[in-house]
A = this chain, B = another copy of it.
Amino acid sequence: MSISPPALPPEFHEIAKRVNNWGRWGAADEIGTLNLITDDVVHTAARSIRTGRRIPLALPLQADGVQTGLIPGRVNPLHAMVQINQELFGPGTVATSDDAVTMGLQAATHWDALTHASHSGKIYNGRPATTITPHTRAEFSGIDKARHVVSRGVLLDVARAKGLDRLAGGHAVTPEDLDEAAEFAGITVRAGDIVLVRTGQIQVYFTGDKHGYGYPSPGLSVRTPEWFHARDVAAVANDTLTFEIFPPEIEDLWLPVHALDLVEMGMLQGQNWNLEELSTACAEEKRYSFLLSAMPEPFVGGTGTPVAPVAIL
């Protein structure tokens, strides 16, 4: 094979250099920007709870989920009863029901672990990508290492700030869009915040058009990692299948935001979050910050996990 593979373009590497966090929390670090969520940050975040209203952000887990079969192995939940009202201790005794599931860890509302992406043979903190194996799964930066994902949550409602129900399929959410949404919210993003970016795209899934939900999709621009980096954001999630604009802004440069956020910055990404009810609630209450709890299921070595996030207003 004498054809050398297309390298990632220079513009990618320039941004990468600017947002790179390798070594920032030591050579042994496996959690990246989650280090920014200090106890103090959480203590302060607790003050964002004004009413105690709780908004769950996960999609229902069911066979009719967002996956269409296009991504190999990323299967919607196959959920089956293995016991129904079974009188395990004999007739007339108390009965129990049990169920089991098979699903892709990135299939539904989920967090990507830092190890979900690699480029140029590397994962976060400069470790070799070969440390992910079928046997150990992710030896470093598995999702089980992300043990404390609770912080102040901030909703940047890009669609609502623009007066739209949802952004168009081809809309790349830019730093300027994020500024606009922050201004609309009257909020300043702080170090350690978890930022939720709403595009409204998930409405397409709710209409039953799964393919249209995935493609074409609005999503984060390759320019946003610098915006998050400048503000020391701890994690970002949104309401799309691919997180970043898809197809990409720059021809043949696929998944650059994944590479920048996960590999270079070491920042968790969340996808398929349902931000519709939260959008309404924030608009009603005229405030866009809250305590966000979004604890990963601790799959050892997992490169992702379903998550059931809750915003506590």
A interface residues (Cβ-Cβ under 8 A, vs B): 4-8, 38-46, 49-54, 56, 58-63, 69, 71-86, 88-107, 115-119, 129-130, 132-135, 137-138, 144, 147-148, 150, 252, 254-256, 258-259, 291, 293, 295-304, 306-310, 312
Contact = CB atoms under 8 A, between A and B. Distances in A.
Q: Which 10 A-B pairs have the closest CB atoms?
A: A73-B82, A5-B92, A42-B52, A43-B52, A5-B91, A293-B293, A39-B52, A80-B80, A46-B49, A89-B254
Contacts of A138: 97
Given A80-B82, A135-B83, A54 B148 contact: yes
A73 B113 CA distance: 22
Find the residue from A98, A138, A258 having the highest chain B CB count within 10 A. A98
Contact of A105 (B51, B92, B98): B98
Contact of A310 (B98, B252, B295): B295
Nearest to A106: B98
A74 B98 contact: yes
B99 A304 contact: yes
A302 B106 CA distance: 20
B95 A119 contact: yes
Contacts of A92: 4-8
Contact of A82 (B6, B59, B72, B91): B72
B43 A300 contact: no
B73 A6 contact: no
Contact of A95 (B71, B85, B89, B117): B117
Contacts of A61: 144, 297-300, 302
Contacts of A99: 104-106, 137, 299, 302-304
Given A49-B43, A86-B134, A135-B72, A8 B300 contact: no
A128 to B, nearest CB: 10
A148 to B, nearest CB: 4
A308 B295 contact: yes
5 contacts: A42-B54, A61-B297, A74-B82, A79-B137, A98-B106
Contact of A38 (B52, B85, B258): B52
A42 B38 contact: no
Contact of A103 (B81, B83, B101, B296): B101
Find the residue from A6, A40, A53, A118 having the highest chain B CB count within 10 A. A118
